[in-house]
Amino acid sequence: MIEKHIVLEDIDPVIFYGVNNANIQIIKALYPKLRIVARGNIIKVMGDEEEMCAFEEHIIAIEKHCAKYNSLKEEDIICIIKGKKTEKECTEGVIVYSVNGKPITARSENQQKLVKAYEENDMIFAIGPAGSGKTYTSIALAVKALKNKEIRKIILSRPAVEAGEKLGFLPGDMKEKIDPYLQPLYDALQDMIPAVKLQEMIEQNVIQIAPLAFMRGRTLNDAVVILDEAQNTTPAQIKMFLTRMGMNTKMIVTGDMTQIDLPNSQRSGLIESTNILKGIKGIAFIEMNKKDIVRHKLVTRIVEAYEKHEKKVTTARKKKSGQITTEETTVYMDPTGWGDN
């Protein structure tokens, strides 16, 4: 008789063991010849060497299932031990699974283009309106790469720019001051990684969330790096960010040209970089529109209403200045230069 300790490293033990340890009880029932004791993230096993080798192989497979799908059911355990495909393994087009075990997929044509562009390029610009899934899909791709051990870390960044308000002095240490700007990134991660595991990854710097200013001077290797709200960067800032790219790294830049919060005297770095970098091999540009919006149906209507308003304001301004004729006022003059595509 021998004894072995198996450490569960990549998962939340609560998911693995199940409610009231239901999952571990099923595993014990399937291996009656072994004595199995589970404590924390360590499983202690005693018994016959041959039986234990098969047990360890199956435990590793079950652990991988948990890490990938964030869930574990009785039927999953039985399928894995019997060498059959689980129900989730038969699902196609899934990027990752949420903490509730629900599949996260590309839900629109342009989101699918973003997924394909990620596979084929090292730098991607995803530009579109609020709610089009550009940030959420990008983070899902990063989490998938981390789970598959294609990279060693995820780095998420945003420029700390106030959206019109003047917040003044914020109390607390540096982390407490900048966290409100970065909360949307935390929200997406919390959907995809169990809370205990996410906190552990942040503490170990496997997942890093920082304002754009903290990127200066770094070389980012073996990572997926996402710059969110890039429309609020200056030309110097976005150039600084893009040149942080190291070996085995993919960068995704997301932004909404219609929600620039920079002072009127400052030009958006996102607009400038798209003009400069288009046509460079290895860089892809995905333009999203209101058809990609996956939030509440009212968000689509709000975006449409603002588009109509911008059209009226732009054509009225140009007509007043004599830049267009009366007949030309029916043409949509998009102030961003992007349009819906």
Measured CA to CA, the distance from residue 306 to residue 304 in angstroms comes to 5
pLDDT of residue 329: 42
Strand residue runs (E) in the chain: 2-7, 35-39, 42-47, 94-97, 103-105, 123-127, 153-158, 207-211, 223-227, 249-255, 283-287
Query: Rounded to whole angstroms, what are the CA distances from 288 to 43, 111, 240, 283?
Result: 47, 8, 25, 16
pLDDT of residue 4: 87
pLDDT of residue 58: 92
Measured CA to CA, the distance from residue 108 to residue 115 in angstroms comes to 11
Exposure string (b/e) for 265-288, b if CB count within 10 Å is 16 or more?
eeebbbbbbbeeeeeeeebbbbbb
SS3 category, 116:
helix
Measured CA to CA, the distance from residue 156 to residue 160 in angstroms comes to 13
Q: Give how far the C-alpha of residue 33 lies from the chain's centroid of Cα atoms, to the nearest Å.
A: 43
245 bridge partner residues? 220
Average pLDDT in the chain: 84
Measured CA to CA, the distance from residue 13 to residue 1 in angstroms comes to 27
pLDDT of residue 130: 83
Greater pLDDT, 264 or 220: 220
Query: Rounded to whole angstroms, what are the CA distances from 90 to 62, 87, 249?
Result: 16, 6, 30
3-state secondary structure 73-114: CHHHHHHHHHCCCCCHHHCCCEEEECCCCCEEECCCHHHHHH
> Which residues, other chains included, contact 110 with Cβ-Cβ below 8 Å and sequence gap of 6+?
128, 132, 286, 287, 288, 289, 291, 292
pLDDT of residue 121: 96
Q: Does residue 115 surpass a pLDDT of 90?
A: yes
Instruction: Output the six-digit token pair for 122.
Output: 């090292």
SS3 category, 10:
coil
pLDDT of residue 192: 92
Task: Work out the number of other CB atoms within 10 angstroms of the CB of residue 245.
Answer: 16
Q: Does residue 252 surpass a pLDDT of 80?
A: yes
List pLDDT tens digits, range 269-292: 999 999 999 899 999 999 988 788
Confidence at 136, pLDDT banded by 50, 70, 90: very high
List pLDDT tens digits, range 293-320: 776 678 778 877 887 887 888 787 777 7
The model's pTM is 0.71
Measured CA to CA, the distance from residue 147 to residue 341 in angstroms comes to 34
Greater pLDDT, 263 or 34: 34
pLDDT of residue 339: 44
pLDDT of residue 334: 46
List pLDDT tens digits, range 194-248: 888 899 999 999 999 888 888 888 999 999 999 999 999 999 999 999 999 999 9
pLDDT of residue 331: 42
Task: Give the closest residue to 113 by CA, choosing from 286, 293, 250, 277.
Answer: 286
Measured CA to CA, the distance from residue 246 to residue 121 in angstroms comes to 14
pLDDT of residue 326: 45
C-alpha dihedral sign at 99, 105, 108, 112: positive
Q: What percent of the chain has pLDDT over 90?
A: 37
**101-105, 129-133, 221-225: which has the highest mean pLDDT?**
221-225
Q: How many residues in the chain? A: 341
Q: Does residue 327 surpass a pLDDT of 70?
A: no
pLDDT of residue 261: 82
Greater pLDDT, 173 or 123: 123
pLDDT of residue 264: 82
> Which residues, other chains included, contact 221 with Cβ-Cβ below 8 Å and sequence gap of 6+?
246, 247, 248, 249
SS3 category, 130:
coil
List pLDDT tens digits, range 145-176: 999 999 999 999 988 764 444 445 556 655 66
